[in-house]
């Protein structure tokens, strides 16, 4: 108990020092494990210094001190390239919430390198309209040859009033994406009072100026809800596994959210009636001597003649990766 109290006092003192460096007065500071008093209200000259974007899930908003800072840089991480759809979909969910909360320019600028667009593809126009209420005509893309070029475009676009939000997507850990570059992006977002979302695909966590970092992955969809109850074997709304990896006000935590495309709100999957059971790994590793076939059970193959199979097999040139739309979840 004594050690825990000392640790809390140290954290409290460090937060006060950071607030003095930033020229802000922390009106209330408390331990992250106290859900009711964990909010940190920052004021400058008696006026609230930040506008919050509420995610809509009570526990998550409380952990973040009332919500995400709207005028700030927010990191969205996908540990592997296959998580790109989840992180991109979550970014569009946040943009959709932001457009509902403010009367702003309808245009969204999505900046990425040519490499990441080739690897992960572009968002599907009809999908973003149906799921997020964002018109494809209002979503603009800028493909840069290098990460440094993408960051320069993001800095210039962040302060333009023509854009309601800016998304910059990079892969891995390029040298150009250092603490100085993210600090410039964060300052531009603060000055404009609009969000800048940094999507990092296949990247490890590194020091940045972003106040909040989320690690995103797809969560198994629940069952579709009907008047007679859950529809067996159906696929419900997209789900997101959201991990708080970095926050000034919250301890690390994990949430499972579901996106309601009709009302354009997040719902806490843990409180839902039709949440899918956690079945663990689908296929166990073969290190223990068990093969994939044994783990899956009976496997039935339907063969084709060589000529027919070759005739129906599409060539790589017919389906380039960068022309395939990425799914939102």
Is residue 72 domain-resident? Answer: yes
Residues 103 and 172 grouped into a single domain: yes
pLDDT under 50: residue ranges of the chain: 1, 23-48, 272-287, 289-296, 299, 307-309, 311-312, 316, 318-319, 329
pLDDT of residue 147: 95
Residues 41 and 186 grouped into a single domain: no
Q: Which residue, chain included where needed, has tokens 């609230």?
A: 48
280: alpha, beta or left? (left if phi > 0; alpha if psi -120 to 50)? left
CA distance 196 to 152: 13
Residues 44 and 155 grouped into a single domain: no
Residues 39 and 155 grouped into a single domain: no
The closest alpha carbon to 26, from 187, 194, 248, 250, belongs to 248
The closest alpha carbon to 260, from 134, 86, 131, belongs to 131
User: What is residue 72's DSSP assignment?
Assistant: S
Residues 94 and 37 grouped into a single domain: no
pLDDT of residue 72: 95
pLDDT of residue 205: 81
Residues 21 and 155 grouped into a single domain: no
Residues 62 and 193 grouped into a single domain: yes
Is residue 282 domain-resident? Answer: no
The total number of structural domains that make up the chain = 2
pLDDT of residue 293: 44
Residues 37 and 178 grouped into a single domain: no
pLDDT of residue 94: 96
Is residue 17 domain-resident? Answer: yes
Q: Is the pTM of this model over 0.95?
A: no
CA distance 30 to 248: 11
Residues 100 and 60 grouped into a single domain: yes
Is residue 138 domain-resident? Answer: yes
Residues 33 and 82 grouped into a single domain: no
pLDDT of residue 153: 96
Structural domain containing residue 258: 52-271
Is residue 290 domain-resident? Answer: no
Is residue 183 domain-resident? Answer: yes
133: alpha, beta or left? (left if phi > 0; alpha if psi -120 to 50)? left
pLDDT of residue 6: 66
| CB neighbour burial string for 169-188, b if at least 16 within 10 angstroms, e if fewer | bbbeebeebeeebbebbbbb
Residues 33 and 175 grouped into a single domain: no
Instruction: Tell me the per-residue pLDDT of 59-98, one tens digit each, with 9 for 90 and over.
Output: 999 999 899 999 999 999 998 888 888 999 999 999 999 9
Of the residues 271, 288, 315, which one is the last residue of a structural domain?
271
pLDDT of residue 256: 93
Residues 262 and 157 grouped into a single domain: yes
Tell me if 26 sits within 8 A of 19, measured CB to CB: yes
Rounded to the nearest 5°, which phi and psi values hold at 200?
-120, 115
pLDDT of residue 33: 39
User: What is residue 326's DSSP assignment?
Assistant: B
Is residue 244 domain-resident? Answer: yes
Question: What secondary structure does DSSP assign to 103-169, as a single string?
Answer: ----EEEEEEEHHHHHHH-PBPHHHHHHHH---GGGEEEEEESSHHHHHHHHHHHHT-TTEEEEEEE
Is residue 303 domain-resident? Answer: no
Length of the chain: 329
């Amino acid at each position: 108990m004594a050690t825990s109290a000392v640790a809390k006092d140290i954290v409290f003192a460090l937060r006060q020092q950071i607030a003095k460096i930033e020229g802000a007065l922390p009106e209330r500071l408390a331990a992250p494990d106290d859900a009711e008093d964990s909010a940190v209200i920052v004021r400058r000259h008696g006026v609230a210094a930040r506008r919050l974007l509420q995610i809509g899930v009570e526990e998550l908003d409380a952990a973040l001190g009332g919500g995400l800072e709207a005028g700030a840089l927010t990191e969205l991480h996908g540990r592997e390239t296959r998580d790109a759809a989840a992180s991109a979909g979550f970014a569009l969910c946040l943009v959709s919430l932001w457009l509902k909360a403010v009367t702003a320019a309808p245009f969204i600028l999505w900046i990425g390198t040519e490499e990441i667009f080739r690897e992960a593809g572009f968002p599907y126009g009809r999908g973003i309209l149906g799921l997020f209420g964002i018109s494809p005509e209002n979503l603009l893309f800028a493909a840069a040859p290098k990460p440094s070029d993408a960051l320069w475009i993001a800095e210039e676009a962040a302060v333009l009033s023509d854009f309601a939000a800016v998304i910059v997507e990079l892969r891995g850990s390029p040298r150009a994406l250092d603490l100085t570059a993210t600090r410039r992006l964060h300052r531009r977002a603060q000055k404009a009072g609009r969000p800048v979302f940094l999507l990092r695909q296949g990247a490890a966590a590194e020091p940045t100026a972003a106040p909040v970092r989320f690690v995103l992955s797809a969560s198994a969809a629940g069952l579709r809800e009907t008047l007679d109850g859950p529809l067996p074997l159906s696929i419900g709304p997209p789900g997101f596994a959201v991990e708080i990896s970095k926050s000034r006000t919250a301890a690390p935590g994990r949430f499972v959210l579901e996106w309601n495309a009709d009302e354009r709100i997040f719902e806490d999957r843990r409180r839902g009636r039709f949440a899918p059971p956690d079945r663990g790994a689908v296929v166990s590793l073969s290190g223990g001597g068990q093969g994939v076939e044994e783990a899956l059970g009976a496997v039935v193959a339907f063969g084709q003649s060589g000529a027919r199979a070759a005739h129906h097999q599409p060539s790589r040139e017919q389906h380039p990766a960068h022309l395939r739309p990425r799914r939102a979840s």
